[in-house]
Homo-oligomer: A and B are copies of this chain.
Amino acid sequence: MSESRSYGRHDIDDEEEEAAFGPSTDLIRAVREALAEDRAAEVETLVLPLHPADMADLLEQLNPDERRRFIVIARGFIEPETLSHLDDLVREEVLELLTPREVAAAVRELDTDDAVDLLQDLDEKAKRRILDAVPAADRAILEEGLTFPEDSAGRLMQRALVAVPMQWTVGETIDFLRAKDDLPDHFYDLFVVDPARTPVGSVPLSRAMRARRSVKLADIMEGGPRTIPATMDQEEAANMFRQYALVSAPVVDDGGRLIGVITVDDIMHVIQAETEEDLMALHGVAETDFHASAFVTAWRRMRWLGVTLVNTIIAAAVISRFQATIEELVALAVLMPIVAAMGGNAGMQVVTVTVRALATRDLTPGSNVWRTVGKEAAIASLNAVLFAVVMGAVAAIWFDRAALGAVLGAALVFNMMWAGLAGTVIPIGLARMNMDPAISAGPFLTTTTDVLGFFSFLGLASLFLL
């Protein structure tokens, strides 16, 4: 399924092959031209029909100066949802251009999860100023939302939901829904609760809609609803949505009482963000790097390159122990990067697979840790022997010296087998020590494959070739 790919979608040359949605290139160009000459009415006409998500995309495409001009024109009609769709960093910029009163008005209109998401990134002073401009009842809900840990289910949940007592019939429920006016814009399941407000079941709307009015909810509900504790990690909540094909799920407090609902639209973003985060962390980059300023991004990457530098200095120190050996046989300097690179690349393949398997819980305690380690060791052995034979032969012919080929082959076998083993053991070990394997496994691994690669190759060479 994942092997064959369609290549067309990355094509960005042919302008006729425009994306099927989102603001078009032509529209963006027209808005820019109108902004350059401050033709406010034209900008308004161009952007007013846009969906908030498309308006957000447009804002992200503008440069900071154009964004400022845009906000001056659009502050009166820009929809609050546009703010939610903005990338974190562009949003920060836009919020600074609005008054606390304007932001507070937007916050009141948004769903609680989006409002909390918007507030959470602001500094304390800005947050306070905006909260002060919000009516007391709304403020209490927002402040409670902010008490949940970042990246928890509590931050994702929306407070407005549809909860119905279990003795109700379908007819009573429909009448209630028609009469009540502070319901969420969209909802997908009716949550059935007991008198203590504990969820006891859920009824998908499609099922409620097809049942006769006299049918009792208790008779058509799915019992034992999959509740999500407000403190659950958002990645865990996303795994649960995926596993059970959920569209919405009830969120409960410590006492098991229904306090909110998470809907699948937020989960789609979590799935993408968590998957990207894990895999980008392997290269020391962050999901937000694309929109961050050059300075912020440079600083963030610098730390990781600093780790790389320390790693390579350690490897260089290993090489420096063998300077006499290299002086005598300079072919070693030519071949030694091959041993290190093959080990590093083979190891990173294993790390990548292991990190994802841990995150998606394909790799779990007790059952399959040893099987995974064993399988990767087997793969490593196969590839190690193959590449050792091939590269050993190449080196023997290249430098016309069979023993040199043999030493290179032996070092390759040693380093690639180590890479296969370490590629599983390091991430699993880091996870057991409660460290994030995605962030730390890469540098750990390549340091070991560099050091062992140079040490084994140069060490064997000094023993057998001189």
Contacts and interface: CB of A to CB of B under 8 A. Distances in A.
A368 interface: yes
A340 B338 contact: no
A367 interface: yes
Contacts of A348: 283
A320 interface: yes
Interface string A417-450: 0000000000010111011110100000000001
A363 B10 CA distance: 10
Interface string A298-334: 1001101100110111011001100100110011111
What is the copy number of this chain in the assembly? 2
Contact of A10 (B4, B326, B436): B436
Contact of A6 (B151, B174, B209): B151
B356 A290 contact: yes
A65 interface: no
Contacts of A330: 323, 326-327, 333
B284 A268 contact: no
A45 interface: no
A47 to B, nearest CB: 15
Contacts of A125: none
A272 interface: yes
B333 A298 contact: no
Interface string A188-225: 10000000000000001110111110000000000000
Interface residues of A, number: 165
B287 A25 contact: no
A88 to B, nearest CB: 6
Contact of A337 (B1, B290, B312, B345): B312
Interface string A151-183: 110000000000000000000001001100001
A323 to B, nearest CB: 5
Interface in A2-44: 2-13, 15, 19-22, 25, 28-29
Most buried by B among A2, A183, A312, A387: A2
Contact of A289 (B315, B353, B361): B353
Contacts of A280: 279, 352-353, 356
A430 B5 CA distance: 15
Contacts of A271: 268, 271-272, 275
A243 B238 CA distance: 18
A369 to B, nearest CB: 8
A396 interface: no
A73 interface: no
Contact of A338 (B238, B283, B312): B312
